Amino acid sequence: MRQNAVQAALVLQEVNDMDYILASKSPRRKELLHFIIPSFQTIDANFDEREVHISKPDELCLELAKNKALSVYKRYPTSCVIGSDTMVASDGKLLGKPHSREEAYDMLASLSGKTHSVFTGVFIASPNYKDGFVCETLVHFIPLTDQMICDYIDTDEPYDKAGGYSIQGGASKFCDQLIGDYYNVMGLPVSALYQKLRELQFI
């Protein structure tokens, strides 16, 4: 019994001594992770997302999060690495980051007056644990006029966001209903990640 207690204490000590790494350069994810972990590094994952070919948005975002986390974990095998990826899905189509004004327009027009899903996959890679989970949030947009869309895509916001919009920015005026975790739409499901890290006794 005493030996088991000592081993458990050593494992807990190892967990408490771990460095935390966010496998992302996203300022939004960095801001959100600070709600849970006061101190961590941010390291961009050296991973080509085009190598993954999965059609289901929940499975795709989890696989991308896994690859991001593991690509950093290989370089820092004593750390706890957190990878994350967000996907917007509407009418059976995946909406990534728009590469042009026209693409941003088409994305927002397709979301007008409808409910769409935002999936975020999170993967945790550490010496004692490697697994992940997916959170889904439903977002409803009011009907958008041509002028509303054009005014928005004239800003810088749409072009580095999945689905072509920033829920915490100018697109907040488009959203009249949201079911699920608001922060999930921003790129990191804060409550679910907090609960998982507590369950693992990582925090």
User: What is d(CA 185, CA 79) in angstroms, rounded to the nearest whole number?
Assistant: 27
Catalytic pick among 85, 106, 151, 156: 85
Cα of first residue to Cα of last residue in the chain, in angstroms, is 25
Whether 131 sits among the annotated catalytic residues: the reply is no
CA-to-CA dists, residue 107 to 7, 55, 95, 153, 197, angstroms: 53, 18, 7, 11, 35
Asked if residues 25 and 47 have their Cβ atoms less than 8 Å apart, the reply is no
Q: Which residues are catalytic?
A: 85
